[in-house]
């Protein structure tokens, strides 16, 4: 278990920590702005980090996950970093900051960022029609087929039923076949009018990028994002994961404790939606860039576009206890979810695939973000995310991870 000091960055950036950031200037009028922008002082941040560290210790003591890597970014710097548990519990191999995890649907933000860079250089437009790029693209409705754009697939507003063909993907049906059979599925709404989360349809962006650049999607992400951001251990695909110098095996709980198992390839077949492997150190650089710290790679204007609320996602307001209690608005942007978290704008995404979970998010006004990666199907670590935000914002504490109940149960 390793932990960076939570103090080394505070002195040089105390003034900036208190500065406020504005919500995106081009946010749609239908989205209610946060009711206030609460300042976070260095002392508040320090207090929140100490609490977070204490909860992580409890998590490890209770063996509530096989392994985990997490970091907090504040004002463009790594304020806190910790790893715990095992990359491979059977072999006794510990998680390190360079251990590579599958990040599942956190991959979607790489797809939208790459697309944005290609929009900036004139290779694409957000309103490029899919039929102009992909001859095979077809939906069940001719008008919808002609209307669907790049922005519609990245904004999860294509109109298909939720998670179309995911079950077939998990049954090892090939992605190209599924992508060419979208016309067999009846739409639940017109294109652009309702939220409907997708993995197969979302990954059409990979075909679009290949058609417009002549290069493979994964190569373009590596060239334009991984390499310039210094994400030196980030890869795509199962082979990329297993060829990593250190990689986290997925684990399941047994009577004998956490036991690793062989990762499945299914969702690697939809690389734009769920294909990225990355270490904590990689994701620290990614989060810094998404928070505006690398304008040389992700310009501020592009970030505003990526983070602008799009289609409303009312189901998110009830998905978990902390969402029911804390969220007042929820929308999907471009590869990101945009929440009103107790009056503060939260830019967020979560991911889950067999044996792996991940969460990432940041508060633009407070310039604080957090990333969590763990290699077990348990949802308990997820509760630490809102617990940290509550502590940071001075909200009434809630044990969203049920750590205290867990502690008393084990006695």
Neighbours of 140 (CB within 10 A): 14
Distance, in Å, from the CA atom of 313 to the CA atom of 315, rounded to the nearest integer, reads 6
For residue 346, being part of any structural domain is answered with: yes
On whether residue 293 sits in a domain, the answer given is yes
Residue 224 within any structural domain of the chain: no
On whether residue 268 sits in a domain, the answer given is no
User: What is the share, in percent, of the chain residues with pLDDT greater than 70?
Assistant: 89
pLDDT for 404: 84
Q: What is the mean pLDDT of the chain?
A: 92
Contact in structure between 344 and 34 (CB atoms under 8 Å)? yes
Q: Would you say residue 237 lies in a domain?
A: no
The DSSP code sequence of 4-38 is --SSTTTTTTHHHHT---PPPTT--TTSPPPS---
**Cα-based distances in Å from 237 to 56, 241, 349, 358, 399:** 29, 6, 20, 17, 36
Within a domain: residue 136? Answer: no
Contact 50, 6 (CB under 8 A): yes
CATH code of residue 71: 3.40.710.10
Q: Does 132 map to a domain?
A: no
- Domain containing 284 equals 2-99+247-262+280-410
Farthest CA pair distance, the chain: 63
Residue partners of 169: CB distance under 8 A and separation at least 6: 175, 178, 199, 200, 266, 267, 269, 270
In a domain, 105, yes or no: no
Gap between the Cα atoms of 13 and 35, Å rounded: 26
pTM, rounded to two decimals: 0.91
| pLDDT tens, residue by residue, 228-244 | 999 999 999 999 999 99
Q: Specify the number of domains making up the chain.
A: 1
Distance, in Å, from the CA atom of 66 to the CA atom of 85, rounded to the nearest integer, reads 6
Query: Do 127 and 153 touch, CB atoms closer than 8 A?
Result: no
pLDDT value at position 37? 59
Residues of the chain with pLDDT under 70: 1-38, 406-411
């Amino acid at each position: 278990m390793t932990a960076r000091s939570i103090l080394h960055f505070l002195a040089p950036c105390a003034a900036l920590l208190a500065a406020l950031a504005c919500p995106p200037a081009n946010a749609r009028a239908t989205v209610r702005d946060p009711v206030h922008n609460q300042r976070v002082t260095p002392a508040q941040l320090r207090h929140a980090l100490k609490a977070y560290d204490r909860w992580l210790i409890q998590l490890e003591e209770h063996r509530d996950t096989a392994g985990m890597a997490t970091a907090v970014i504040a004002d463009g710097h790594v304020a806190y970093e910790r790893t715990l548990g095992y990359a491979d519990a059977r072999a006794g191999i510990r998680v390190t900051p360079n251990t590579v995890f599958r990040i599942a649907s956190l991959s979607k933000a790489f797809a939208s960022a790459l697309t944005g860079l290609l929009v900036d250089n004139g290779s694409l437009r957000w309103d490029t029609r899919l039929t102009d790029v992909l001859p095979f693209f077809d939906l069940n409705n001719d008008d919808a087929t002609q209307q669907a754009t790049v922005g519609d697939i990245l904004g999860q507003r294509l109109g298909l039923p939720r998670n179309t063909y995911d079950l077939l993907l998990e049954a090892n049906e090939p992605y190209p076949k599924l992508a060419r059979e979208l016309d067999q599925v009846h739409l639940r709404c017109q294109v652009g009018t309702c939220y409907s989360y997708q993995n197969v349809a979302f990954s059409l962006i990979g075909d679009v990028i290949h058609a417009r650049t002549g290069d493979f999607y994964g190569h373009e992400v590596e060239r334009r994002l991984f390499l310039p951001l210094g994400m030196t251990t980030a890869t795509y695909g199962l082979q990329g994961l297993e060829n990593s110098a250190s990689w986290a095996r997925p684990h399941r709980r047994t009577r004998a404790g956490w036991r690793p198992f062989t990762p499945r390839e299914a969702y690697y077949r939809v690389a734009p939606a769920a294909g990225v492997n990355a270490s904590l150190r990689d994701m620290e650089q990614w989060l810094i860039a998404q928070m505006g710290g690398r304008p040389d790679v992700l310009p501020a204007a592009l970030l505003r576009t990526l983070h602008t609320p799009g289609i409303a996602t009312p189901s998110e307001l009830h998905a978990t206890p902390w969402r029911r209690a804390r969220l007042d608005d929820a929308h999907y942007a471009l590869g990101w979810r945009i929440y009103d978290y107790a009056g503060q704008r939260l830019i967020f995404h979560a991911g889950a695939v067999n044996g792996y979970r991940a969460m990432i998010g940041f508060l633009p006004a407070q310039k604080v973000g957090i990333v969590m990666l763990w290699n077990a199907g348990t949802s308990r670590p997820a509760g630490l995310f809102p617990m940290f935000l509550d502590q940071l914002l001075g909200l009434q504490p809630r044990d969203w991870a049920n750590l205290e109940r867990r502690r008393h149960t084990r006695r």
